[in-house]
Amino acid sequence: MPDNMATLVPKTSLSRKKYLSLYFKTIYAYIYQILRHDQNSTPITKRSTPTSKNHTYCETLILLITGIILKHSFLNRILTWSKLFMRIITWNVNGLRAAIRKGIQDHINTLNPDIILFQEVRALPEQLPSEWANPDGWHVVWHPAQKKGYAGTAIWSRDPIKKQTRGIGTEDTEGRVLHVSTAQVDVVSVYLPSGSSGDERQQKKEEWMAEFRPWADKLKRKRTPVLIGGDFNIVHTARDIFYAKGNENASGFLPHERAWIGDLLNSGWHDFLRENVGDIQGPYSWWSNRGKARELDRGWRIDYLLGNAAAAKRIHSSYIHREGGLTISDHAPVIVDLK
């Protein structure tokens, strides 16, 4: 874990918009003074470097504001302030402690998200390095499973978290669902049970699916943006799995599971990744550790970022960061940018 994690975000109470407003107002004032100076002196094509008190004053202001910004952040955060979108990522990290050792911080630096939805954290906050349990510059909510080293979700946000709820109205001892309100959006980190280990777990998965749908329907109707992201452990169509024929009887690709997620989407939830890439084969978000599935990109798409109608109005782009699935986890992060 790099020591510079705390410098990834500004330690300040001033908002991005306030900084930008101050900065660009200063730039505007400087240009105005230049034009005003030139109107009262030589033509702009012939003038020399301005030396008036007005120019000196404006240059000082620009240096002052720029200095404040640089004091509180890295250059990449300055660029983030000026961007026109909010970046949300969802990532099943397959054990956060292992992901930290493998260098997940480098990928977070590269992706530079505003909100992160983690699944399969497999750790209590006190089991993590202090800079991860309570990372400087982030607002964090943890929802670990009662069973140590198992399942669990978490949400990190650059902005304050105003509301948080766990579960879907029933007891959630496995840390499957975490819902927060932050940055004027509602986000949910979901880790749907897997049924691949046997009939008992498949039955548990299907019970969970039945409970999840009416809970999600209530969120869908909100007038503000809502995004549900996470590992659903279900492939939607044959476009989302490399070996469709060979997995027809496998949990995660069973006909009734695919119908369930199809009904979820038909009810009004938007699959932002599929809508962005169109009707193509792939991309995939999970790869088996067997053979060369990961290396050859023979995977499944079981990780989603879904949004309601209000979120769909703000969608800018969506993609999968495959590199994260090559070196950190058996899952790759899914990214959505909102305008």
Q: Would you please indicate which residues are annotated as catalytic (active-site) residues?
A: 231
Residue whose pair of structure tokens reads 């080293």 in the numeric block: 149
Selection from 284, 323, 336 nearest residue 110 by Cα:
323
What is the chain's alpha carbon radius of gyration, rounded to the nearest angstrom? Answer: 24
CB atoms inside a 10 Å sphere around CB 4: 11
Q: How far is CA 12 from CA 19, 281, 310, in A?
A: 11, 45, 30
> What's the CA gap between 335 and 317, in Å, rounded?
8
CB 181, CB 223: distance < 8 Å: no
Q: How far is CA 72 from CA 6, 13, 77, 115, in A?
A: 11, 11, 9, 20
The phi, psi pair for 326, rounded to 5°, reads -95, -30
Given strand 315-320, what is the order of strands in its sheet? 139-143, 153-157, 115-119, 86-92, 334-338, 315-320
Q: Tokens for 221?
A: 């109707």
Residue whose pair of structure tokens reads 């599929």 in the numeric block: 274
> What's the CA gap between 91 and 285, in Å, rounded?
9
By residue count, the chain amounts to: 339
Peptide bond into 214 cis (omega under 30): no
What is the greatest pairwise CA distance in the chain?
A: 86
